[in-house]
Copies of this chain bind each other. A is one copy, B any other.
Amino acid sequence: MREGPDIARIASLVGDPARANMLNALMGGTALTASELALEAGVSLPTASSHLSKLMEGGLLTLASQGRHRYYGLASAQVAGMIEAIIGVAEAVGPKRVRPGPRDAAMRVARVCYDHLAGEQAVAMLDRLFDRKLLLREDNQIRLSSAGVSHFSALGIETHVKARRPVCRACLDWSVRRSHLAGTLGAAILDKIIAERWARREKDSRAVVFSPTGRQAFERVFLS
């Protein structure tokens, strides 16, 4: 019976609609203030504050104080991955959504997942990186090949960073139901896509929209 990690505690934190909305809003990767999150969740400020302290105590959020502003963000990419997994199940079992609007379609193609790219484009990219032997599957992990190191280095992405966070990690995609690339490399690639202005983020959405020329550039570099 009572054994192992307290999974019910974590799940019940996500299980409240107000908190779920907050976490969903934070999946965009940018930290938000309590007021913004209250608005996002549709609750009053005191209520939001109460929820935020619970999420903090549960270890799902981090807090950065800047002056009189307090920015809340997801605690880790692992937490983001868990939320993606829950979203995936919710999508799968809730086929009641008859009309996948244009915004949903855009989300399906490419979107931000915490700090890296997700969606069809991201899944295709990971496939190609495997095909080109720039990344290698090892057990259930992903490893950079030496060819991959020099390849990304040529793109201005340094992969030798010493960090506790893994360089490569697989993250399950809820729309495609296959893995895309997370980890510091996944984050760096998203950074490059935005920095090169290949794509821009939709306002108030996790969707990522490529420009025509940007898409060509992205395909040339990562999908060729």
Q: Is the CB of B85 within 8 A of A4?
A: no
CA distance A32 to B176 in the complex (A): 31
Q: Is the CB of A205 within 8 A of B2?
A: yes
Complex contacts, A15 vs chain B, CB 8 Å? 8, 11-15
CA distance A2 to B90 in the complex (A): 14
CA distance A12 to B89 in the complex (A): 13
Q: Is the CB of A2 within 8 A of B16?
A: no
CA distance A83 to B114 in the complex (A): 20
CA distance A89 to B7 in the complex (A): 8
* Interface flag for A138 (CB, 8 Å): no
Quick one: copies of this chain in the complex? Answer: 2
* Interface flag for A217 (CB, 8 Å): no
Instruction: Looking at the assembled complex, report how far the CB atom of A147 sits from the nearest CB atom of chain B, in whole angstroms.
Output: 30
Complex contacts, A10 vs chain B, CB 8 Å? 86, 89-90, 93
CB within 8 Å of B: which A1-46 residues: 1-17, 19-21, 23-25, 39-42
* Interface flag for A183 (CB, 8 Å): no
The range of chain A's interface size is 35 or more
Complex contacts, A1 vs chain B, CB 8 Å? 21, 39-42
* Interface flag for A196 (CB, 8 Å): no
CB within 8 Å of B: which A49-92 residues: 58-60, 75-76, 78-79, 81-83, 85-92
CA distance A75 to B40 in the complex (A): 32
Measuring CB to CB, which residues of chain A are less than 8 angstroms from any residue of chain B? Answer: 1-17, 19-21, 23-25, 39-42, 58-60, 75-76, 78-79, 81-83, 85-94, 97, 172, 174-175, 177, 204-205
